Amino acid sequence: MFVFVCAGCGARLTIPLSQVALPAHAHQKYGNGIQLPVLMESGTFAVDPEPWGPPWRRWDEIDPDEAAARGIYAPVHALSEGAPGPIVIAPGDTRGTTLIPEKAGGYCCGLDWGDGPNMACEACGLPVANRIDDCSLWQAVWLAPDAVRRLPVDNTDTTTLSWAELLVEGKGTPPFEPITRWGSLLGLDHWWSWSPQWEAAAGRALAHLLAASDGRPVTVPHGLIAEVFQRALDALLPAGPPARRAVLAGPGLSAPDPDADILLLPTHPQTAQPWSPTGPAASAYPVPLPFGVWMWLAFPEPHLHLPASGTMPEGVLRDDPPVPRPHHLFRADPGTFQYTLVRLPAVRSPWLREILENLTQYMRTGLF
């Protein structure tokens, strides 16, 4: 485990933290005026290997070869010129910091990246982090990598769980959840919707599925996987040529079909490494899914009756209704989709570049 300290004076800025994978929805902007929860579980941190946050450079100011050297193979609105490796933690895990009021520009309902670091070391005043809690953004604190140092904590050791242990201890991420809007005049304003985490995970996976398709149709298994991916795949890929087949694979499942072209695999929640198949399936194209999303797809949790509490007779079970389903078809997150696709070399293909150029139109038609 580690603590982060101020690079200027050495003051401690966090509680002890263990490193986990960067969530697929780390940079997601969801809806309009939506109240999103905290991004990171308390006691953990993740590192984004790329720069993020101001200052930004517009695409027309960047040479394509320079962008390619950074792993960007298609136009984007702008690229961050900040220091690579920002560290994200839960807001409640900070210590010894104070907000910088004059750095609170650019927000709607809360704080965002607008004017650069908006948190300073309480001891010496060095700007060290960004507090993010604006509407439609995941609540987080992003530590500036050039303003903090990471120190190991003595007598602590975080064990990396095996895949078998994850199957026992890990939790699936439900595909539906209540969404809440900030400050409705009518009181609490919430509704059941597809999970923003699922939409971000699908946006990342869909980019990989298109890259793996080679411009041919792709089929996925029936059920929830098809509900999440097949509509977009059918709309974005041509009909006619022999289809490539994607299947779900991972620990605890039967060996993947050796004839499968694409494998939907879990990534380890601590290391971010994908599960590795063996045998003939090892040559299939791997498509990453966050472990919680994969877990629900592989081992969906049934609706269970819950023990009654209070004055109900012993042995009586509550007959809770099933979780309400969303009223709209599933839509992958367009921002996460674009973020992933421009970082895949396959996007240089004209047909994939055309999808990127028409992304706004696909959003208007409800595909994203």
- Per-residue model confidence as pLDDT tens digits over 306-316: 555 566 667 76
> In this structure, are residues 367 and 235 in contact, taking their beta carbons and an 8 Å threshold?
yes
Say what the pLDDT of residue 87 is: 98
3-state SS assignment for residue 45: strand
- pTM across the whole model: 0.91
Handedness of CA 92, 97, 100, 105 (dihedral sign): negative
Residue 188: the pLDDT is 59
Band (pLDDT 50/70/90 cuts) for residue 256 is confident
Instruction: Tell me what pLDDT residue 92 has.
Output: 96
Q: What is the mean pLDDT of residues 214-243?
A: 94
pLDDT digits (tens, 9 = 90+) for 140-156: 999 999 999 999 998 87
List, for residues 54-84, the tens digit of each pLDDT value. Answer: 888 999 999 989 999 999 999 999 999 989 9
**Cα separation, 368 vs 366, whole angstroms:** 5
Question: Given a cut of 60, is residue 223 above it in pLDDT?
Answer: yes
Q: How many other CB atoms are there within 10 angstroms of residue 360's CB atom?
A: 9
State the first-to-last Cα distance of the chain, in angstroms, to the nearest integer: 39
